[in-house]
Chains A and B, each alone.
Chain A
Amino acid sequence: GQNIDQPTEMTATEGAIVQINCTYQTSGFNGLFWYQQHAGEAPTFLSYNVLDGLEEKGRFSSFLSRSKGYSYLLLKELQMKDSASYLCAAMDSNYQLIWGAGTKLIIKP
């Protein structure tokens, strides 16, 4: 079957760095997405990886290892506004997104 695993909740301190891991199993693979979702709002696109390696975009970076079925989202210089759920989603061979349950990130001052 198809499956996405990511931690349910993480806590970090303002100004610090946090890494949110995601492992996936899909029928075929057409890329890995990370979305941010604030409470009561729709998801917003953060990153897309289809090749192995690290993609950096400002304070956020995303890494992919296709051979390991593994990705992580790295957030640097954490700000209070980064408190949100972070959704990992893998695209299968039919170009359908398989969603993880999301990781709730709590930032403490």
Chain B
Amino acid sequence: DIVMTQSPDSLAVSLGERATINCKSSQSVLSTSNNQNYLVWYQQKQGQPPKLLIYWASTRDSGVPDRFSGSGSGTDFTLTISSLQAEDVAVYYCQQYYSSPRTFGQGTKVEIK
């Protein structure tokens, strides 16, 4: 199984400041057949289901604000919120869809400082 490890577990950022979340996979999730990273980011607000933010490691889903960006390749990935807004308070999860079982990171809780 591919183990996904996020860091940090939580972070507090001032409004308007940058938030950076890291996600590391125990093996590469880069497909050599299509040169795509099978890595997705979800946002989950309290009491709500997860919401798709970014897929293929760096493609924003429709309607997702451009302050959210994803980067990385292979085994190391980053979700960046360039200017934190109050509505971004949530837990963020990475997940690999390269192979089954489709493992998630443990989640990173983002709060306002």
Do A and B come from the same complex? Answer: no
Binding site for A on B (CB under 8 A): none
Binding site for B on A (CB under 8 A): none
